[in-house]
Amino acid sequence: MTDPHTTGTSSHGHGPFIAAIDQGTTSSRCIVFDKDGRIVSVHQKEHEQIFPKPGWVEHDAVEIWTNVQEVVAGALDKAGITAADVKAIGITNQRETTLLWDKKTGEPVHNAIVWQDTRTDALCKELGRNVGQDRFRRETGLPLASYFSGPKVRWLLDNVEGLRERAERGEILFGTMDSWVIWNLTGGTEGGVHVTDVTNASRTMLMNLYTMKWDDKILASMEIPAAVLPEIRSSSEVYGLAKGGILDGIPVASALGDQQAALFGQTCFAEGEAKSTYGTGTFMLMNTGETPVNSYNGLLTTVGYRIGDQKAVYALEGSIAVTGSLVQWMRDQMGLINSAAEIETLALSVEDNGGAYFVPAFSGLFAPYWRSDARGVIAGLTRYVTKAHIARAVLEATAWQTREITDAMTKDSGVELTALKVDGGMTSNNLLMQTLSDFLDAPVVRPMVAETTCLGAAYAAGLAVGFWPDTDALRANWRRAAEWTPRMDAEQREREYKNWLKAVERSMGWLEEEE
């Protein structure tokens, strides 16, 4: 699980290049890009997933920082270049995952609490009762849910002994993974900069979506001292120079949450353009222009990106907690497959799902339901069902959940889906992509560079240092690599969609209030 994995070097000529670091949920990777936005080298390393209790998910932030340094060195080595060839570094990251660390020693006070972790459910319910659901959604664009960072910070302050006092004395720093990586890259205890960008800040539930500043009233209601917070900056600007280490002296010039980075990498710069990224979870974002669009159908309002001192661009987001991680679960916990790719072979060994529907509500249900009381179910089981049918149901779960999001997106934005741009690790699964096109009844297109998350971070960093002149130059790099078109009979689609929705209902209400 922790073996480093490198791919591809090529003869893309001589630099300069941009290096992007993607600190993801499953792994950290570094990709070196050339001026045409082509991949020169990749180095990637998985980190441990820590599950201390049902519903809890943690990461060791020190392991992550060690891996980040290793993948950077690996990617430069593989490309046959040194830091002198790198014009800027871009950062992108799993969002919401929350870390508090000691400013003086640089040591985390606790493992990072990962976005999927549900330990703050009860706290969120309490905040909802005391402060009101709408209050948070109005200012931050987010429903009160354990997914977001604010409640996780509060949990740490309440549960790590003596931490609140230390935080109030200004000894503790909070950050999502972008802040942690940038702080360490720029010197750590030796003057590291403590910043985050607007996209990551928009996922904390602590930033006001309209002013782009930390919201004092929300901080007060969450009982979080302002002293722990990083400075909110744009997504594309030089935050500081890397200090020490292999990248010493190179500008750190972008930060975007990974899903916003993918929106950027897919060059969705115009209002109405959307992408969906299939990784550990799945996240569909639609660019909605310079004003936030409220959702009435269970989507999030979030910041898409902000380039330097230009106006921020907003997005609507449909977040699905469990997609690729369900495939991992089939591999690691169930032992039904040996590799993620094997799920396709297994699923293809049968014609259909044999009547089984798998609702992977492992962290409750995210969009469009936001039900923390839901838990996973497999519905429709009979003696007929084999592991191959379950494999098929696993893939279909991702496609049906996307269908629910696209339906909500159309209702909220008024934009009909004409084609879906996709990316992420799961898009190498052809059966899944065909199923997706069938269930959406729309073409699904994948670009030449499927690593759009890193590409987006590289683009934003490159813009900040003048490596690329403007977003039009980036658009010119987008090329289609693959397309799937619908082949499913409409009646069958609607019949199966109804079954899916019935299965979803059965996943809800599993947890009682006091649990």
Residue 94 binds ligand G3P, judged by CB under 6 A:
yes
Taking CA atoms, 318 is separated from 153, 265, 440, in Å, by: 24, 18, 15
Nearer to ligand ADP (CB atom), residue 142 or residue 426: 426
Residue 115 binds ligand G3P, judged by CB under 6 A:
yes
Residue 281 binds ligand G3P, judged by CB under 6 A:
yes
| Strand, helix or coil for residue 7 | strand
**Secondary structure of 268-318 as H, E, C letters:** CCCCCCEEEEECCCEEEEEEEECCCCCCCCCCEEEEEECECCCCCEEEEEE
The C-alpha atoms of residue 96 and residue 360 are separated, in whole angstroms, by: 20
Residue 420 binds ligand ADP, judged by CB under 6 A:
no
Residue 176 binds ligand G3P, judged by CB under 6 A:
no
Which of 67, 254, 259, 280 is the binder for ligand ADP (CB under 6 A)? 280
Which of 28, 176, 200, 280 is the binder for ligand G3P (CB under 6 A)? 280
Place of tokens 């280490």: 245
Residue 96 binds ligand G3P, judged by CB under 6 A:
yes
Q: How far is the CB of 332 from ligand G3P (least distance, A)?
A: 16
Q: Which stretch binds ligand G3P (CB under 6 A): 134-142, 246-254, 275-283, 374-382?
A: 275-283
Instruction: Please check if 296 is assigned to a binding site.
Output: no
Residue 235 binds ligand G3P, judged by CB under 6 A:
no
The C-alpha atoms of residue 321 and residue 428 are separated, in whole angstroms, by: 19
Residue 279 binds ligand ADP, judged by CB under 6 A:
yes
x/- binding map, residues 83-122, to ligand ADP, per CB under 6 A? ----------------------------------------
Which of 151, 188, 257, 380 is the binder for ligand G3P (CB under 6 A)? 257
Nearer to ligand G3P (CB atom), residue 283 or residue 439: 283
The answer to whether the CB of 386 falls within 8 A of the CB of 480 is no
End-to-end CA distance of the chain: 33
Residue 49 binds ligand ADP, judged by CB under 6 A:
no
Q: Which secondary structure element, helix H or strand E, spans residue 447, and what is its range?
A: strand 444-447
Q: How far is the CB of 334 from ligand G3P (least distance, A)?
A: 20
The C-alpha atoms of residue 417 and residue 273 are separated, in whole angstroms, by: 9
**Secondary structure of 140-175 as H, E, C letters:** HCCCCCCCCHHHHHHHHHHHCCCHHHHHHCCCEEEE
The answer to whether the CB of 457 falls within 8 A of the CB of 254 is yes
Size of the site for ligand ADP (CB under 6 A): 19
Instruction: Please check if 258 is assigned to a binding site.
Output: yes
The answer to whether the CB of 196 falls within 8 A of the CB of 176 is yes
Binding site for ligand G3P (CB under 6 A): 24-25, 94-96, 115, 257-259, 279-281
Report the binding-site residues for sn-glycerol 3-phosphate.
25, 95-96, 147, 258
